[in-house]
Amino acid sequence: MTTKYIFFTGGVVSSVGKGVTAAALGRTLKERGFNVAVQKLDPYINVDPGTMSPYQHGEVFVLDDGAETDLDLGHYERFIDIRASRVSNFTTGQVYAEVISKERRGDYLGGTIQVIPHITNEIKRRVGLVEKTTGADIVLVEIGGTVGDIESQPFLEALRQLRTEVGRENVLFVHVTWLPYIGATSELKTKPTQHSVAALRSMGISPNMIIARSDYPVDADLCEKIALFCDVDKTAVVPMVTSQYLYEIPLLIEKAGMPDLVLKQLGLEAKKKPDWREWEKLVANVKRPKPEVTVALVGKYVELHDAYMSVREALKHAALAAGVEVKIEWVHSADLEKDKNWEQVQKADAILVPGGFGSRGTEGKILAARYARENKIPYLGLCLGMQLMCVEFARHVLGHEDANSSEFDRSTASPVIDLMNDQRSIIDMGGTMRLGLYPCVLKPGTKAAAAYAVEKIDERHRHRWEFNNAYRAEFEKAGMVFSGLSPDGKLVEIAELKDHPYMVGSQFHPEFLSRPNRPHPLFVGLMKAAKEKKAGQA
């Protein structure tokens, strides 16, 4: 079939859940038998989010092929249950880098390089790559930011052109806006939506559908008003009230009749009837009251929960599987160094130390790992969290007082975490880590092997430093088990403590492959251990 495109634009304000809405709609289309692919266009000038501060950008989501992408890709993978690739995310920075390198090579034969057509052509080429690499029936494309941003103009122009090139009947523009609520008069306002649609139309794009996001119920009159002022069909204004339950959104979109409307507008017929039984069970399970288990998440960017988006979701998925409700205590690792906020750690049923870069707060994470080891509190270390669990072990069990990762102390006499030789000569920061999917072989009889229940796994990585093999035998003698290794045995991928209910660290990032209905084994292991610990206290 001809590939169909759904373009998502945002109006009024950002952060209204455009990505989640697109992902949830994607799921409803997949349920109708379509092969759905996704793409996120980020109008900022950075080449990728890999070198951006998590405070600014939230989590960097890593794909199988090692692409460092926007966190919306995480929503797409989790909701639609797909594995995206590098073509699924690009930025203005990448577009310009490509065009400028072609210009330097002389590919343009001396022509003047302009935003239209050179930049817009490169944008269109990259949008086209999704269909080429996936053969998708429907490609969902989300444009980051809000209409009216200077950076997004070339993107909107490119998509406008694309609509004519692939045929209007094959393209749908969905505009996601926000209805502010005025407390004094208790009413929702449509004016900002009208303005944002006017801005979109000034770019030559009339939306086919408007999703009106709101924290309050939106009545039919308001939808009619939006339809009238924004020149869309009445049925094509879909109110979408904020839900307390993230994974309920596909069901709400289904209930609002949006997928059928989309198919009608694209001239498509469902290939099969959607089957929501598993998903409904999942949502019912989410809503069911369950005993609470507390996890202290000891990190460096805890003020911004989006920086740990996939970790938080993976904890929620695993909690569901373990039949508990997870409450996350966000603990700033630097506070622990100053002897502050320890009660948050002490009252937790489990401790999780996520990934991170740079030395700030690492000593606090080491203290948290020590506390978990000595008090037999279930612990999961992700990437840096695994490395620091090893540093702590070296310092306090093996007696290497100055043990560290050479990332944080270049002159340590005990670099238990160190650079591999092939990483030493790299100067560039961006895209130079061990990135993407790598195989790992599990050691039978270990906690990791029991959790996964298979012998070989593939997991996503994003790091430069590795466990230093010079210390392997010493660690093993003292009770550390290297339960996951690269197939050639050279790289430590999982470490776990022998005499401990659950102290496990992975060099990879398991959180990226967790799904709501297929929780990640290492997270499930943590939640089960936490549940047992809590039951033991009762």
The residues carrying an active-site annotation are 383, 509, 511
465 binds ligand GLN (CB under 6 A): yes
Look-up: residue for tokens 């203290």? 367
DSSP output for 201-265: HHTT---SEEEEEESS---HHHHHHHHHHHT--GGGEEEEE--S-GGGHHHHHHHTTHHHHHHHH
Task: Please choose, out of 114-122, 211-219, 352-360, 515-523, the segment that lies near ligand GLN by the rule CB under 6 A.
Answer: 352-360
Sign of torsion over alpha carbons 414, 416, 421, 427:
negative
Cβ of 142: how many Cβ atoms within 10 Å? 27
Task: Please choose, out of 18-26, 148-156, 263-271, 354-362, the segment that lies near ligand GLN by the rule CB under 6 A.
Answer: 354-362
For the segment 113-152, give every residue that binds ligand GLN (CB under 6 A). Answer: none
484 binds ligand GLN (CB under 6 A): no
463 binds ligand GLN (CB under 6 A): yes
For the segment 372-431, give every residue that binds ligand GLN (CB under 6 A). Answer: 383-384, 407
- DSSP letter assigned to residue 170: G
Report the nearest approach of ligand GLN to the CB of residue 86 (Å): 19
Instruction: Judge whether 466 and 472 are in contact, CB under 8 Å.
Output: no
For the segment 142-201, give every residue that binds ligand GLN (CB under 6 A). Answer: none
Q: Which residue is nearest to ligand GLN (CB)?
A: 355
Report the nearest approach of ligand GLN to the CB of residue 327 (Å): 24
Nearer to ligand GLN, 96 or 475 (CB): 475
Nearer to ligand GLN, 299 or 501 (CB): 299
Nearer to ligand GLN, 95 or 403 (CB): 403
Query: Which member of 462, 500, 520, 528 binds ligand GLN (CB under 6 A)?
Result: 462
Nearer to ligand GLN, 274 or 355 (CB): 355
Listed in sequence order, the residues at least 6 apart from 282 whose beta carbon sits closer than 8 Å to its beta carbon are: 247, 320, 516, 517
355 binds ligand GLN (CB under 6 A): yes
Report the nearest approach of ligand GLN to the CB of residue 355 (Å): 3
CA–CA separation, 415 vs 409, rounded Å? Answer: 8
Report the nearest approach of ligand GLN to the CB of residue 380 (Å): 13
Nearer to ligand GLN, 32 or 300 (CB): 300
The number of residues making up the chain comes to 538
- Bridge pairing between strands 480-485 and 492-497: antiparallel
In the structure encoding, which two tokens stand for residue 436, read together?
A: 């993407």
**CA 494 to chain centroid:** 22
Report the nearest approach of ligand GLN to the CB of residue 468 (Å): 12
Query: Which member of 155, 357, 438, 523 binds ligand GLN (CB under 6 A)?
Result: 357
Query: Which member of 124, 464, 472, 515 binds ligand GLN (CB under 6 A)?
Result: 464
Report the nearest approach of ligand GLN to the CB of residue 390 (Å): 12
Nearer to ligand GLN, 279 or 408 (CB): 408
366 binds ligand GLN (CB under 6 A): no
Report the nearest approach of ligand GLN to the CB of residue 509 (Å): 7
Look-up: residue for tokens 């199988």? 64
Look-up: residue for tokens 């924004």? 230
- DSSP letter assigned to residue 489: S
CA–CA separation, 214 vs 211, rounded Å? Answer: 10
Q: What are phi and psi of 294, to 5 degrees?
A: -100, 130
Nearer to ligand GLN, 127 or 386 (CB): 386
Task: Please choose, out of 8-16, 235-243, 307-315, 351-359, the segment that lies near ligand GLN by the rule CB under 6 A.
Answer: 351-359
DSSP output for 25-85: HHHHHHTTT--EEEEEEE-SSSS-GGGS-HHHH-PPEEPTT--EE-THHHHHHHHHT----
Which chain residues interact with ligand GLN by CB under 6 A? 355-357, 383-384, 407, 462-465
